[in-house]
Chain A
Amino acid sequence: MTQRTHDVVVIGSGPGGLAAAIAARQAGAEDVLIIERGLEMGGILLQCIHHGFGTQTFQEDLPGPAYAQRFVDEARELGIQAMLDTMVLDITRDRRITVTSQESGFLELDARAIVLAMGCRERTRAQIRLPGSRPAGVYTAGTAQRFVNVEGYMPGRRFVILGSGDIGMIMARRLTFEGAQVERVLEIMPYLSGLMRNYVQCLLDFDIPLQLRHTVSRIVGQRRVEAVETVAVDERWAPIPGTQETIPCDTLLLSVGLIPENELSRKAGVAIDPVTGGPFVDDGFQTNVPGIFAAGNVVHVYDLVDWVTEAGTTAGRRAAAHALAQRRPARNPVQTRAGDNIRYVVPHTIDPEALTEEGVRLQVRVRQPIEKPVWVEVWTGEERITRSAERYVRPGEMVTVILAQKAYDAVRKAQELTVRVVER
């Protein structure tokens, strides 16, 4: 039984979804609905109580919940509807959405346009094949963050953290603030996975040792974690004999990567890029399925929430335009390609006939870090059409290259755009 057809339905009310809903409404879509599985809007920001949000958007350094609150309030003021505590179970290519909730029951609704903003899940112990027993006390850092910051419980007393991702480092500080003992942070790569600022303010500030090129080789403990065995590794991640250590602890936190959550996207027939883990998108964040857009961490993992807000805004505007039948599909999309030392480029395609004065943002992650000044260049065939000077490049820090209006002629003539890194 279908309820009705909404103009734009946004799935997820984190920063990506909120920005998309607001932009869609502001672009003229009247019936904009947010579907959120949590009890309130804000997504993951509700548990990210630390600072670092809004430096670009508001020129302020806000904690996550405060950043979210601004958008939640604006969404309410704009009359955007929200179904809370509601889970989307299915989406079809024709944009029929099946949801379930305690309050509304099990129902179907239709949308003229959908913005997918489901964010990420965390990489698990099984996915890194961490050997040992299976006691209580092994958590992903985000789950621990939720317990500490929302429910108010400490998952343990004595912690080891595997992975130098930002969530792990931030939790090292958070747990220390709450009286826990954080013994060690281990990172299998030879470089930091997250931001340097977090290394200084979360680990150095509290004398929490970080061991690069180290990993946990075994979890010990029958009912609850009792210790972890750690080891140094070489560049192929093979353990180096004689470097084993046993660290007594009762909790292991895993901060070993985020994976865009695209199970629903797949159900709708959205094509997923195996490199990013998210949908192939164009410069309006539309996927390969007409009328289905995606924004935020569900597309690829961002570092700064401000860029998620910006992506959500673009996606919301384009979703509204689609809902109001104001756009026709791209006839000759230009492909983007990952060149030397580039792992991926988002968006995957650009519509050369729909370029606006705001420019096109190419968001890029490198494969290997270079701690020296480089150019990040965009080439078409033989011609370099723009480049961005960076003082260094790191896999943990997304790079943005802007194609401004002066590059548009070249873009319009191009078949594909290749992004590459060149040392200066």
Chain B
Amino acid sequence: MNWLQRLIRTARMEKELDAELRFHFETLVAEKMQAGQTEGEARRATRHQFGGLDQVKEDCRESRGTLWLVSILQDLRFGARILARSPGFSVTAIVVLALGIGVCTLAFSLYNIATLQSIPVRDPATVVRIQRRSPANITPGIPYASIAYYRDNAKSLSAVMETMGAPPLVLNQDEKRVSAAFVSSNYFSELGAAAATGRLFDAAHDDAASAPVCILSYRLWQQRLDGDPSIVGKSIRLGGKPATVIGVAREKFASLGADSPDLWLPLLQHSYFIAGSKPITDPDFEGLIAMWGRLAPGVTSAAAAQELLALTNQLRKIYPTVIWDHEYIVVTPGAHYLSFDDGPPILAYVGPLVFLILAIACANLGGLLLARGANRQREIQLRFDLGAGKIRVFRQLLTENLLLGLLGSVAALPLSYLVLRIVLAYTSAPSWMSALPDWRVFLFTTAMGFLAAILFGLLPTIQMVRRKKNRAFWHQVVVCAQVGASCVLIILAGLLVRATLHTLYSDPGFGYEQVLAIDPGMGEHGFAPAHAQAYLDQLQNRLRSVPGVTTVSVAMSPPLVNTMIMSTSIEVDGHRILIYPNWVGPDFFQTMRIPLLRGRTFHNGEKNAVIVSESLARQRWPGEDPVGKLWEKSNNVVIGVVGNTRAMELNNTDATEMYYPPAADNFPGMTVLVRAAGDPNTIMPTVKAIVASVDTGLYPTITPLTTGFRKNVAQAEQFTTIVSLLGSVAMFLAVVGLLGLVSYAVSQRTKEIAIRLAVGANRAEIFTSVLRRFAWPVFIGLASGVAITAGLSQILRRGLYGISGLDPISYIGAMALLIAILVAGAMLPIRRAFELDIARILQSE
């Protein structure tokens, strides 16, 4: 019998124990009666001889080894009664814990969904992502020629799938574009997907010449096509090209990678949908085809990577220009929303913040428990007097804490579930994602409950058991910890709010409100540089003649609407300068309203010239005139200096800019910028008509820069909202905690306060004397909070702020707010003490 069985059989064993001892007892009685005693005498004598029957039983139970479990159940029952008896304390404690644990659970659930859980595809464990690396290069894609070679020769992979993103396509005549992905014909069948209606791709679509087809996502079908039940077999136009809908994927279909496109197209029909493109036929094609594989039975990722490396070395002989030096293949788990590589940085940001909340919650509860310990002193003393051992009392109190911790976990689960549901709905997450906690979340939350119980409970419990009268030191530690942690979160929230406001309301260094960006997407359509240049010239000329258009120019990285940010850096006197390069036409600065501070802008067709931003000039050549200087080991002469912009990353003020005239290779990637004299929407129809007529094969995207600006700001706002919420939770917790501690401090000194009031002491004096011992811990807490935040902000800085990580307003504001709240929180119990009946208090002592 193991202990569990013994526990289950406890009732039977109890009965047997009783019967066994009773048998002994009765036999002794019978013996004595045989010797001539009356039954009464015999029983009395036997009882005397037997000693305490219950003590014998207890000893037997103990030797049986189930006692600890039974007594833990006892402790739990007792703990539950104690908690039920002071509902105010219990509810506060559980709410505080639920908030602390809930925030952790929420963060973990998100991490769990994104990286730990497998996406719902057939046999997710064998789905892998395959990428190429070399010491000098990192790219997510693999050229199609290589993929085809791997597919034909790799024995460690039972199947190879490809996916490729596509530029947003015009659906029929609709303004709003749809996102599409090109996939290999085995994509759906390998993932075990079924169609909601119609059918999915099969080997018949492995032919570039077959009739063009597409598969719709459930979302697109419902939202844009009204769930048309007879959609299968109908023809739609994608980027002007007709294609037959052969089916609709199920609502909960999970696509590989983090994208969930509106529709899927056969990869081999790429050049039909994107005229002029050649990802399949040209081994040098730069586009990003992602390669996925399914491991053959029993093959590990490492073995597959090994075999693919060998194949890569054979490939090098066939395509010497395509394969890099020292190229190797990385095989990673593929059936996750985000890959493990993406995980750690997010965790590194969110993890510490979330744990801070838990730490604050725990510090609070520690304080509450310390205060409560004082009220329970009498009860605990009584137990010691009745002969309870220190360990036993300690265990009982610990069990109580554990119960609280677990109740906190139980309350945290629905809380985090609700918030997660809202988050998933709000962020329009893929519909296969479920907010329901899985075993990992349960395990995590339970573990957090235990951790919290230990974090908040250990110190006060030791204090209680040791029956120390002076708990002042631990109070101070608790106050210090929670003030420090709250301080960090509130300052961070302040910094972020300020950063968002800064982004919103300060001058980005350029005028975007009246500018339209036209991205022709020539690169995807395989335009040669000369063709692209001719197109750009023609388009610009026609746009310039439109009434209401002031200037027109081109740029490689249009501000705010660019999809890719390029950056480079140089080193000057040991520190790095981050530079955003851009390739722009002569009228770019005028179009974007970036002031020319020195020198001149480019001439048409000019070469070997660069223009730098004022910040770059200042950092590179402090106190010198940069015009006429050569730029870093090149024959490019600096011809002008322009104002600073925050064009590439709105929230990064460290960046500097540098502008080159466009070289031939840049033309296919260029975007046209049009500045309107007034509201850009008024010229929109004319611009559209011109764009549509210049080249009927292209479907350029026209975006007002204000749209891009709003998108940028929305991201910053989201992050700010999250941290502000965390900050408010922290503040709430800090107030609850301090309220408890000050109440306790006041309750300890009620008599003293009463006497002082009775002899006519000044109330303000009493007030400061009660609070004096909290002054130092609050001060140390604030100081360490500031120090920690200052350190943290240097790490977070680049991604988050448009302002200095040491922005004094955020720091001083946060501290003032915290102190104000703490003082207000402290006032409450002291004011209550002042209203007490002095005579009654003095009498009761």
A binds B: no
Which residues of B does A touch, CB under 8 Å? none
Which residues of A does B touch, CB under 8 Å? none
